[in-house]
Structure 1
Amino acid sequence: MVRERSQKQSSDKRQKKKRPPTKQQINDKKGTNRSKPTSKATNRNAHPKNKKRKPNPDSKKTKNVTRHKDKNPVYTLLFNIVFYGFILFMIAGSIIFATTKNADKSVLGYRFFGVLTDSMVPRNPEKQKGGFHSGDVIIVKNIAGEAAEVGDIITFRPSIKSQAFLTHRVKKKLDHLGETKGTYYITQGDANLAEDVPVNEKQVVGKKILVIPKIGAFLNFVRENPFVSIIFLISVFGFITIIRYYILNK
């Protein structure tokens, strides 16, 4: 009896092992297999911030280019020297010219003269270059009396004791005048039809090198109101500096 029962149990185990899976088991397996990729998809969508974005090489190049453009100390230094030097030179020269009444004074070998007449307005601009108008300011460099040449525009005294000055073009340079030896100049204004009286080398003050147009009235105002004008010039200088700083750092 014991042997028969054991044989039945072993046969039952074999039948259980050999039974095919049911439909529910098959569906359950398919459902689990399908649910796995969806869970991965949901996990991917749930954490988009964890994705590592690939760097854009073009953006790095543009950043490097802009930084390279901003960092140019040599160019900035040179620009600042030229910019501030020119403004300071103009302001200082204008103040000195406007506040001094002695025309014999010069600054570093240069003088400022206001033009009162139109004697140097060129009748033929192609040939008569370097002319100027009334209301302009000319900068004259001190030179030796015999250093001027034909074609130069020189500033001279009409007479040795004269306190007034003329600025005309040299037409002729002579090494004597009659029986008197020395350097003499025949000058004439570009707008004039007649020549001036011959000028001795001792009467020559300097040579015109630069014309600043239409600031004669402004300098006359500065001369009449020195303190107000100095404050105004400093304010203009500060305003220009602020505008320049704003434009460069925009």
Structure 2
Amino acid sequence: MTHGWFMGTARPRVLAHRGLLTAEDVAHGVVENSFAAVAAAHAAGAEYIESDCHLTVDGTVVLFHDDDLSRVADDPRKVADVTLGELESLLADRGGLITLEQALDSFPRTRFNLDVKAKDAAPEVGRIVAPHADRVLLTSFSDLRRRTALAAAESAAPGMRPATSAGSATIGRVLGALASHSSRLVARALASVDALQVPERYRSLRIVTPRLIAAAHRQNVEVHVWTVNDPRDMRRLVSMGVDGLVTDRADIALEVLQGGNPPPPTP
């Protein structure tokens, strides 16, 4: 049965990577994964927001990508070492902090693709998303973190399961199964996931191929490619049959897929 995260939305899917930042936003100091960035993606028409989850020292799940604050807030401390109040203050003039609960409550029709970045965040992420399981996909590079968050969600709301995409180990098993030409092993590797979210290439290895896409589709698993910002790449990947694009410029992707004239990329 198809999970609710996939139902009733446009395809190919456009996943707004950490929200949306235009050149004007950047000039005004707005940062990724901020309330303003999520709101901008929503205003542009993005049905899906891709974001990341960390845990503050006082136990609040926030949308934040890096382990520390140096790149986004010019502060060397780790997210896990600051309080919610301290993080709110740091991001007040950078688009505003947004917690996971605020994101789900403030954008009730938006689907969220959530990457669990921190081990300690996984149980709380699962608990928070449980009532919203039909519009949440949980993922992580770590299959263990991903499964921990899924288990917490199912424990908090039995019978309601968020969608999920493969972690690195599962993706490795899929690629190995393809290399061995074993349909049985491919099916086994994909049995517990709803999507493969992968880069087109990893170093010298091409990951996204027609063969991978076809194998995934035979198991009713979608293929989403990250991070795709060039309109030519968007068109090429969609023509290959990928089901979704994770992009920093959801506004461009939506225009491209609707056949319009995309705005210029951010310099």
Normalising by the smaller structure, the TM-score range is under 0.3
Question: Larger relative contact order (C-alpha < 8 A, sep ≥ 6)?
Answer: 2
Which one has the largest radius of gyration? 1
Normalised by the size of structure 2, how large is the TM-score?
0.21
